[in-house]
Amino acid sequence: MCGIAGKLHRDPSRPVDEEVLRRMCRVMRHRGPDDEGVVVLGATGLGHRRLSIIDLSPAGHQPMRNDDGSLWLVFNGEIYNFPELRAELEAGGVRFRSRTDTEVILRLYERDGAACVRRLRGMFAFAIWDTRRRTLLLARDRLGVKPLYYRLSEDGLSFGSELKVLLEDDDVPREVDPIAIHHYLTYQCVPAPHCVFKGIAKLPPAHTLIWNDGRVTIDRYWNLPYGPKHAASSERELEEELRCRLEEAVRIRMVSDVPVGAFLSGGIDSSAVVAMMSRHSDRPVRTFSIGFEEDAYDELPAARRVAEHFGTEHTEFRVRLDAINILPQLVWHYDEPYADASSIPTWHVSRLAAEHVTVVLNGDAGDENFAGYDRYVANALAERFRLLAPLAASGVAQAALERLSNGHGATSPASRARRFAEQLARSPQERNLAWLSQFDRERKRALYSDGFRAAVNGVDSGRLVLDRFDEADAEDFLDRTLYADVMTYLPDTLLTKVDIASMAHGLEARSPFLDHEFMEFAARIPSRLKLRGTQTKRILKRALQGIVPAPILGRRKMGFNVPLESWLRNGLRDMAHDLLTSRRSLERGYFAPAFVRGLLDDHVQGRRNWHTQIWSLMMLELWHREFVDEGTAREPAPHAMAEPMGSYAS
C-alpha cells in the first residue's frame, strides 16, 4: 500500500521540477513511510511513497521501469491474483526481476496495454507513462477502494493519491467549487468525480484515463451486473457456494510479508471475516475493536464474545468525548469536507491496530452485498403500506409527525418512526434519497444565503443517486437500491473513510466483501434471499450458521454510530456555537445566520435532533480554516487522547 504522484507538461521541452515532485511525495509520507522514489523524465515526473507489504526487498522500489526504460509505473494497492498472472506471463516467456505485484502490472501492460486492468483482482490506483507514445494511463480499481485525484490544464496533467498532493504544486489554484459544497451538504462527502476545488477531479471507480498530447479519454471498464440470477437447484447450494467464495476472498487477502490482523465490530460481517481468518492462520488472529461509554453505541461486549469464541488476541479501545481532540488531524487528512462522524472511531481503531500489525481485514460492503441496512426494510414496508392505503398514507404520516418527539436520540424508536413517517408518501427512490441525505432540498433552501443559492444555480444533488437507479442492470427495486449504494455511498463515504483513517497510520485495510468476483456472485443472488420481511442478510446469515456464533447472527444491526447528539448538547455545545456563529464563518456568505442559529438552539433545547446537520456545518468550517484560510500543508500535531483499554489473549 502506497501513495502515488505525478506531473507532466504538454510541452516536451519544459522539464518537471523535481523539488515539486518531492514535496508532493513528502506530504503523503504517512501513506508510505518505508521508502520514497522520484524520477524525472524530461517533461514527465513520477513520485511514490512505499508501505512495504509484499517483497520487502529493494526490488520493489518505485517508480518501476521495464527492461528498456520505455515504461514507468507507480502503483498504490494490492493485486490478489498476481501469482496466477505471473505464472501465465512466465509461461509466455516473460522474466521477472522481483516478487512484487507491481512488476506483474507492468509486464501485463507490456502485453495487453490499457486492457490489463480487466485482469486485475484487487484494489489499485496506478499510473503508467509510455515514453515512446508520450501516453499516460491512469487507472482506478472497480469499487473505488483506492483514491486518485487529477488536474487537467492546457499545460498538462498532474495526479496524486490525495488532494493535498496536488496542492503542493504552486501552479494549482485553490478556488472553492460551490457545487461541491452543495453536494457535500447532502451526502457528508464530496462525491466523485467532483472535488471541493475547481479544476480538480477524482477518477471514478472502474475507470481509466488516457492522456496523449493533451487529448484525454476516460472510459469505464467494469460494471456490476445483477442478472441473470443464479439457477441453483436449492438455496442450500447457494449458501455453500457463498461460504466457499467468502473463504477464498479472505484467504487471498491474508497473503503478506508483514503482520496481519482484523477490525472486529461484533457485527456479522467482521465476525465472518475473523471466522474465516481463524481457519487459515496457524496462530491466534489479532483483532481490534472500538467502543463507547454510552451503552446504546457500545459494541465491545459483542466483539469480545466473538474474540473469545475464535481465540483471538484481542485489543480494545473505548472512545470518550476527549477523543474528539483528533479533529484537526482528521480535517487535514481527509483533504475535503467530510462529515461521517464514524471516522472518529475508525481513526482510533486504525491507530490502535497500527501499533501491532501492518495489514487489517474488515467487513466493509457486507451490507451493500446482502441488504443489511435498516432503510432497505423501511422502504419495503413503506411501499407496502402506501400501496395498501394510498389515500391514508399522507394523513397517517402527518399524524405521526405531530405525535412523535425527535428528542430521544437518533436511534430511538421515536426518531426512527418519525423519519419513517416523514417519507411515507414519497416514491421509493425519493424515500431512499431522503434517508441518505443530511440537508434535503427544503432545508437547503432555508439554509442557503441568496448568493450561495444563486451560485449552485438549481443543481439537484439528488440526481447523483437517482440516476444510478436508472442505469442499474436490475429488475427489482431492492437490486437497484443495492446498485446505487455500491456506486455512490460505498466508495464516496465508506471506503473514503477507511482508506484515509487507515493510511494516516501507515495501515493497509483489505476488504474481502469487496472482492469483485465475490460481489458479482452476490449480485446475482435473488433479492428475496437477501431481504425477507424484516430479516436482512438472510442468505448470508444462513450460510454462516455453525461458523459465526448464533447470538451474533441474531443481533440487530447497530452500525458504527457515534453519540453525536449528546456530545453536541453537552461537551461540544460551545465548540459548535463558537465555530458556526463566529464572524469568520458568517462572513463566508454561504448560509443564513438565523437558520444556523435555529439549528443550534433546537438541538440544544431538545426540540429536534440536528446533530448530523450541525456536524456537517462544523466540519465544513474547520476544513475551510485549514485549507482555504491557512493554506497549510503541514499535519497538525496530535493532541492527547485516551489510552487503549488493554489487550488480552482470549
Query: Could you tell me the strand order of the sheet in which 215-220 lies?
Result: 64-65, 71-79, 122-130, 135-140, 207-212, 215-220
Cross-strand bridge partners of residue 73: 64, 128
Long-range contacts of 50-54 (CB under 8 A, 24+ apart): 50/2, 51/1, 51/2, 51/358, 51/506, 51/508, 52/257, 52/258, 53/1, 53/78, 53/256, 53/257, 53/258, 53/358, 53/359, 53/508, 54/78, 54/99, 54/100, 54/101, 54/255, 54/256, 54/257
* Helix (H) / strand (E) containing 208: strand 207-212
Check if the beta carbon of residue 265 is closer than 8 Å to that of residue 289. Answer: yes
Q: Would you call 97 helix, strand, or coil by DSSP?
A: coil
Q: Look at the block and give the residue holding cell 454462516.
A: 544
Check if the beta carbon of residue 432 is closer than 8 Å to that of residue 484. Answer: yes
Check if the beta carbon of residue 85 is closer than 8 Å to that of residue 79. Answer: yes
Catalytic: which of 2, 25, 189, 195? Answer: 2
Picking from 644, 620, 520, 496, the residue whose alpha carbon sits closest to that of residue 225 is 520
Check if the beta carbon of residue 124 is closer than 8 Å to that of residue 76. Answer: yes
Return d(Cα 438, Cα 447) in angstroms, integer.
12
Helices 390-403 and 413-422: angle between axes, nearest 10 degrees:
140
Return d(Cα 459, Cα 157) in angstroms, integer.
28
2 is a catalytic site residue: yes
Check if the beta carbon of residue 125 is closer than 8 Å to that of residue 77. Answer: yes
Q: Cα–Cα distances in Å, from 287 out to 258, 274, 358, 362?
A: 15, 8, 13, 10
For every residue of 304-324, DSSP letters joined together read HHHHHHHT-EEEEEEE-GGGG
C-alpha cell at 369: 452485498
Return d(Cα 482, Cα 433) in angstroms, integer.
13
Check if the beta carbon of residue 566 is closer than 8 Å to that of residue 576. Answer: no
Return d(Cα 208, Cα 218) in angstroms, integer.
6
Return d(Cα 249, Cα 199) in angstroms, integer.
38
**Neighbour count for residue 623 (Cβ, 10 Å):** 24
Catalytic positions, written as ranges:
2
